[in-house]
Structure 1
Amino acid sequence: MKENQFFEQQTMSSRIKASIVSEYFPKYCNIIINKHKPKELRYIDLFAGPGKYEDGNESTPLLVARNCLKNSFLQQHVRFIFNDNTYKEQLETNFMTEFPLGTFTINPFFSNRTVGEWKPITQYLIKSTHVGRCNESPALLFIDPFGYKGIETNVLAQFLQNWGNEIFLFINTKRIHPALENEKFEPLMRDLFPTTYETIKSDRKFKQSVSERLQLIIDNLGLEYQKILGTRVYYTAFRFQEEDIDTASHYIVHLTKGKRGFDLIKTIYNDFANVGTIFDGINTYTFDVKKIINPITELFDIGEQNIDNLKQAIYTSYCGKSISAFNLFEEHQITGNYCRSHYSKALRKLVSEGLLEASFTDNKNHLVSVLISKDCILKFK
């Protein structure tokens, strides 16, 4: 699909992508606010598009703003920064039609610069916004280029290092694969993989399946940020499979230094995934448009297999120990892709199988045996 045709009609996958980001941002803001109330919270979209498709469906900028308007604190403290070198005028018109000046206390900003070529964008991203103890303008950065141009990992890592900053990166793996084999694209690939370019070119030859090669790309992206920053970076990918192919074509990758953001994004990914996927280090949360067009009844409940796998991992780690459900979740959830609801189900299953005793210290009657709470005490047998 040519770039100038992309916004004619919204695909199901584009709708899911926009929904993930627009659902995440207000909840991300609440996480920040609970720790520190900054002067403002920023939503930055460097490839924002026109805000609406020609078929009338809305894209991320309008959906994010609409969700923020439901919260009075966000209405007063969110700054929207939109950039698109082609659709700036259309985006501004579409945005202002629904959200006239004054709707948000801080007026939105629109620009039409080319990412990767206009230096002030780079300078803006790497400039530290820390004032005193905390970052006074934490930001969620959404980068959805048409391919991979304009993605400079060294720059994005400097952005991520600021307290509270997080990134959504939408990548087209169908374009990255051939680009890694074409010397003409080496500069762009080195921008994307500044420390692992040679490694990924070599290692991908030893991966037997397409899924393994795709996961190699995702893992190397995440590891780039950890190497550059020298600290733990949590990265989680959501996979899109289109109607004309059986393998993944795109991923949206979330990057954060915070455990709460890692917890939240997995919950949201789980809400939008429609494919039962076993988390085996290769597979991840997945949306397959073919399941919407041609629903198929699965013979086996793959989701239940995830619960069984997590249940066994938890029991192996905590056998003979006592701990609150909250503390267990905090310790263990950072080790993999399982979300909060997976932990609740796995722990309740351990109770039903007699391998775990759960009690509450809040003197309340609970309808379920386990809640992810400090008041829920777990005693493993």
Structure 2
Amino acid sequence: MSNSSFFDKSKEQSLVKAEIVAKYFWAWAKVVTPHAKTRGHNIAYIDLFSGPGRYQDGSKSTPLLILERAIADPDMREMLMTIFNDRDSNNTQSLQQAISSLANIESLRHQPRVLNEEVGEKFVRMFEQFRLVPTLFFIDPWGYKGLSIRLIGSLIRNWGCDCIFFFNYNRINMSLGNKVVEEHMNALFGKERADVLRKKLNPMPSYERELTVLEAISEALKEIGGKYVLPFCFKNDEATRTSHHLIFVSKNVLGYSIMKEIMAKESTTSDQGVPSFDYNPATIYQPLLFELSRPLDELENMLLDEFAGKTLAMKDVYNQHHVGKRYISKNYKDVLLKLEQQGKIIADPPTPPRKKNTFGDKVKVTFPPK
């Protein structure tokens, strides 16, 4: 199925998706560039389903946003290698023209490469064989053809390699019970997990189906080394159901923390300052996602319980607790400030001399014993 119609206009959700990827690319590059420099390595951005570069209304899609940020940075001008691939030759021609028209594109030491290939087994074998420089991968297929758990595993296996991919929940949900595309579903989830899903999903209501499918892909990603998984949900135009998710996967907790802050700012709603990431309420039947749905009121009790009798810095409280939960750093600071004001914890330094209504990363927190 062609994805050309997808680029007929720049829907708001498409712009949000592009911004999330571009913002993470910038933050990721700032982290990996110094390490790559000391080793004499380059860094890379690879987009396997790149599209034409611009929507019909002229808005820039992800490839152009990435290149513009690279052109503006002296280190990235020298070190960034980019590869953009699309199986539709009309898209690759359009993208090449859009890239060539970018101001100062010639300043990039490594000029962008535009490929016209089908993503499949050939790509998987290639990435499995090579040791990659730090690379951010973006996989944005129109449906799911070419997207497999083995492909993602091959992309994130080396240091500094993270992946963001488009998970078309609506189409995948419909396809799990379709014999015609059984092979694609097996490649995406793994055959054993896909078979279990097919049996479980049939009697489920729609909201539980979505959570179960997301839980399954999260489990599959963790099995291939993607220790840190963070999905961001997009609803359809009527906001009546989920259309797709943008899923981030990494082996590094720092990348996870950075992406969480980026996705939090793009969330349309929040509860007590806790970003929604546009998730539906999860249940205890999906344990990897359940923690992502708990409100801020419960964070106080969780911290008092889990850190009882311990003394550690605010930053360490955050680092040890936030993975798999939708709380961001600000939520922890707000809760710890409230607990201090209630006399339930001891902060060092206290207020004063600490500035009123602040709780810095290095402030020591002593939790009472149980």
Deviations 1:140-194 (A, max 9, x none): 1100000111102112212211111111111111101111111001011011011
Partner amino acid, structure 2, of 1:330: N
Q: Would the alpha carbon gap of residues 277 and 202 (structure 1) be closer, same or farther in structure 2, given more than 3 Å must change?
A: farther
Q: Would the alpha carbon gap of residues 183 and 305 (structure 1) be closer, same or farther in structure 2, given more than 3 Å must change?
A: closer
**Which residue of the other structure, out of 299, 305, 313, is the alignment partner of 1:324?**
313
1:211 is aligned to 2:215: no
Task: Give runs of ≥4 in structure 1 deviating > 4 Å.
Answer: 277-280
CA apart distance, 1:5 = 1.7
Partner of 2:158: 162
**Which residue of the other structure, out of 46, 62, 68, is the alignment partner of 1:60?**
62
Partner of 2:194: 197
Distance 1:337 1:10 in 2: 28
CA apart distance, 1:101 = 4.5
CA apart distance, 1:96 = 1.7
Partner amino acid, structure 1, of 2:336: L
Contact 2:269-2:276 within 8 A present in 1 as well? no
The DSSP-based 3-state class of the residue aligned with 2:333 is helix
1:172 is aligned to 2:168: yes
**Structure 2 unpaired stretches of 5+:** 281-291
Aligned residues: 351
Partner of 1:112: 116
Deviations 1:56-115 (A, max 9, x none): 111111112222333321222111110112211111111121145532121111111111
Distance 1:145 1:284 in 2: 25
1:308-319 superposed matches below 5 A: 308-319=297-308
RMSD: 2.8
Partner of 2:106: 102
Partner of 1:300: none
Q: Would the alpha carbon gap of residues 71 and 342 (structure 1) be closer, same or farther in structure 2, given more than 3 Å must change?
A: farther
CA apart distance, 1:329 = 1.3
The DSSP-based 3-state class of the residue aligned with 2:224 is helix
Partner of 1:250: 244
Q: Would the alpha carbon gap of residues 20 and 364 (structure 1) be closer, same or farther in structure 2, given more than 3 Å must change?
A: farther
- TM-score by length of structure 2 reads 0.87
Distance 2:299 2:203 in 1: 29
CA apart distance, 1:245 = 4.4
Contact 1:28-1:261 within 8 A present in 2 as well? yes
Contact 1:83-1:111 within 8 A present in 2 as well? yes
The DSSP-based 3-state class of the residue aligned with 2:230 is strand
**Structure 1 unpaired stretches of 5+:** 131-136, 289-302
Partner amino acid, structure 2, of 1:203: K
1:1-381 superposed matches below 5 A: 3-33=3-33, 35-37=35-37, 38=39, 39-86=41-88, 87-116=91-120, 119=122, 121-129=123-131, 137-194=133-190, 195-205=192-202, 207=204, 209-229=205-225, 233-276=227-270, 285-286=277-278, 306-360=295-349, 366-371=355-360, 373=361, 375-381=362-368
Contact 1:237-1:284 within 8 A present in 2 as well? no
CA apart distance, 1:287 = 8.9
Distance 1:243 1:306 in 2: 26
- TM-score by length of structure 1 reads 0.84
The DSSP-based 3-state class of the residue aligned with 2:101 is helix
Distance 1:49 1:68 in 2: 19
